[in-house]
Chain A
Amino acid sequence: MRLGIRARQRFGEVVHWTVLAVFSILLGFPFYWMFITSFKRGPDLYNLKNNPFIFNQKPTLEHLKLLFNETLFLRWLGNTLFAGIFVVAITLLLALPAAYALARLTGRWGGRVGIAIFLTYLVPPTLLFIPLSRIVAQLGLQDSLWSIIVVYPSFTIPFSIWLLMGFFKSIPRELEDAAMVDGLTRFQAFIKLVIPISVSGILTVVIFTFTLVTQEFVYALTFISSAAHETVGLGVPVFLVRGDVYYWGSLMAACLIASLPIAVLYNSFLDRFIAGFTVGSVK
């Protein structure tokens, strides 16, 4: 079939937008569904005769009220924030100096250690959770938010070191050399010079670490057993269900509230995380 150039371009456009529309619907639909479920009245929600895609009765805030007044949802958000702040602090404290040392002070050998550290990121929670459950118990941290605060840095530190190493390597060496000629020690140069100009790299690590705290499921499920100590990623899917009863309205409202802010945050930093995954295979 021989088509004119114009016709072929038109055809390409149509295919392009069809592909985008189909994928957007497939990938985004659950979030639309969370949204509409959150604001539908119970009788509307559970009437099979109604068209489920639209509001057949006036929207309501009853599910949100139930969620905030009668469940531990706010507590879970607070727990997540609390754990997140500590995990971020531990991660920065350990990963920043380590990344700098491996980028600058250890030569070729540092790159090897960096790769070894990155490989630990590949060891999954589902391989470690059984021994860790005992370690956590021996530390007296079972069923406490501190269990995850201690354990989460074990996977946020490796990826953060990897990201920061790349970042530090892009800073010209002459900058620190000049400062050291001016009488600063190497460590002072790191604190006073390198850290301030690495703010965007540090911010990336903060966001990355924080999103991982909200997304992690397996460790939280293993170590924490009482509802009051859960993070939001575990509390919502596991503890918002009472017995066998699902309060779908409140449940979906909780899902929407818990996922959208994180999604917006993560989205704005995404390109840098991806750079961390693709080091070495993209030039």
Chain B
Amino acid sequence: MSALGRQRWLGPAMFLPAILYVVALVGVPFVLAFFYAVGDVKVGSVGYHFVGLANFKSVLQSPAFLRALRNSFVFTICSQILVLIGANILAIALKNAFPGRRFVRFIILLPWVAPVSIGSIGWKWILDSLYSVINWVLIRMHLANEFNPPMWLGQPTLAMMSVILVHTWHMLPFATVIILAGWTAIPKDIPEAAAVDGARFFRRLFQIELPMMLPIINVAVLFGVIFTFTDMTVVYILTRGGPYDTTQVLPSLAFFTGILGSDLAEGAAISLFLVPVLAVVAWLMLRTAHRAEVT
């Protein structure tokens, strides 16, 4: 065979194994999820009957599902707004060199680099019903009643707030380093020229620098939305969806229904509600990638 002919099949021979692996374990289950959602699959069941949209109908009538759907959006939107504000402030504080910068960066990164399940169990102890250190401080400051302190994970509104804040804690470093990468990449001459012209810090920030940073802030937000909307670890560890399903989000509800409750079909139907949001994010990312390819 000629060298050129060999070149032709070498490419596919080198990338096909990886692609087949990913197709088998991402593509196939992805299609199966749709297939399950319109069938009657249970753990251990044999055979398959098409049931149309029955699973979706039953899911949409369940108050627990509607609550989880709403929670998923509240969880994602609130934590991403907090992350975005915090990460931008923090990135500005970290962008220029100062003594101890490496150490500060390490401390700030800990919540992202430590396993999230383990960070969450740390918070479970901080928010404990009896020994919460936050309550200890609040009681000493006379901001909470010693005999009826706040139940951070036991009362629906507080529990939702706790879940959102712990997730924000986990995601903030990730967004910060991405935005920081953007700061080091924007050309220095324009803001400097503006500074020479006498533009003050905030004017420079909002009129010149942040608009230049917009594409990279976009990336941070898109990944943040994906990682938040599809996450169940924080909820699972802190509250198991409780009290009374009030902190359940779509992924955790899918887990409790499909895996623990053995109703694979209904679990799959619930998790499919993640797809529209994922599709929108993927589309936005493709647009960013395409723009980068063109310019």
Bound Cα distance A150, B237 (Å): 25
CB proximity of A164 to chain B, nearest CB, Å = 11
Known: A28-B107, A28-B108, A128-B30. A237 touches B93 (CB 8 A): no
Number of interface residues of A (CB under 8 A): 97
| Residues 58-90 of A contacting B (Cβ, < 8 Å) | none
CB proximity of A224 to chain B, nearest CB, Å = 12
Proximity bits, B74-109, A CB within 8 Å = 1, else 0: 000000000000100110011000100000111111
Across the interface, which residues of B come within 8 angstroms of A111, CB to CB? 293
CB proximity of A223 to chain B, nearest CB, Å = 10
Bound Cα distance A279, B223 (Å): 13
The answer to whether the Cβ of B177 comes within 8 Å of any Cβ in the partner chain is yes
In the complex, the chain B residue whose C-beta lies closest to that of A100 is: B14
Of B93, B122, B173, B293, most A-chain CB atoms within 10 Å:
B122
B29 contacts A132, CB within 8 Å?
yes
The answer to whether the Cβ of B230 comes within 8 Å of any Cβ in the partner chain is yes
Across the interface, which residues of B come within 8 angstroms of A130, CB to CB? 33, 36, 254, 258-259, 264, 267-268, 271
Proximity bits, B1-26, A CB within 8 Å = 1, else 0: 00100110011111101110110111
Across the interface, which residues of A come within 8 angstroms of B115, CB to CB? 214-215, 217, 232-233, 258-259, 262
Proximity bits, B259-290, A CB within 8 Å = 1, else 0: 10000100110011011001001100110110
B125 contacts A237, CB within 8 Å?
no
Across the interface, which residues of B come within 8 angstroms of A31, CB to CB? 110, 114, 122
Contacting B110 at CB < 8 Å: which of A27, A150, A151?
A27
Contacting A278 at CB < 8 Å: which of B108, B219, B230, B282?
B219
B125 contacts A251, CB within 8 Å?
yes
The answer to whether the Cβ of B120 comes within 8 Å of any Cβ in the partner chain is yes
Known: A19-B89, A94-B18, A130-B254. A30 touches B123 (CB 8 A): yes
Contacting B11 at CB < 8 Å: which of A101, A122, A125, A246?
A101
The answer to whether the Cβ of A196 comes within 8 Å of any Cβ in the partner chain is no
Known: A26-B169, A130-B254, A267-B106. A122 touches B281 (CB 8 A): yes
The answer to whether the Cβ of B66 comes within 8 Å of any Cβ in the partner chain is no
Across the interface, which residues of B come within 8 angstroms of A248, CB to CB? 125, 128, 131
Across the interface, which residues of B come within 8 angstroms of A262, CB to CB? 113-115
Proximity bits, A268-280, B CB within 8 Å = 1, else 0: 0011001101111
The answer to whether the Cβ of A161 comes within 8 Å of any Cβ in the partner chain is yes
Known: A30-B126, A255-B121, A281-B215. A97 touches B14 (CB 8 A): yes
A222 contacts B22, CB within 8 Å?
no
Known: A120-B22, A135-B29. A222 touches B10 (CB 8 A): no
A23 contacts B86, CB within 8 Å?
yes
B18 contacts A217, CB within 8 Å?
no
The answer to whether the Cβ of A211 comes within 8 Å of any Cβ in the partner chain is yes
The answer to whether the Cβ of B190 comes within 8 Å of any Cβ in the partner chain is no
Of B14, B33, B230, most A-chain CB atoms within 10 Å:
B14
Bound Cα distance A221, B259 (Å): 10
Which A residues lie at the B interface, using CB under 8 A? 12, 16, 19-20, 23-24, 26-31, 33-34, 37, 45-46, 48, 52-53, 94-95, 97-98, 100-102, 105-106, 110-111, 113, 115, 117, 119-120, 122-135, 150-151, 153-155, 157-158, 161, 185-187, 211, 214-215, 217-218, 221-222, 232-234, 236-237, 246, 248, 251-252, 254-255, 258-260, 262-263, 266-267, 270-271, 274-275, 277-283
Show 9 residue pairs from A and B whose CB-CB distance is below 8 angstroms, ordered by the A residue: A122-B281, A126-B231, A128-B25, A131-B264, A133-B259, A217-B233, A258-B118, A262-B113, A279-B292
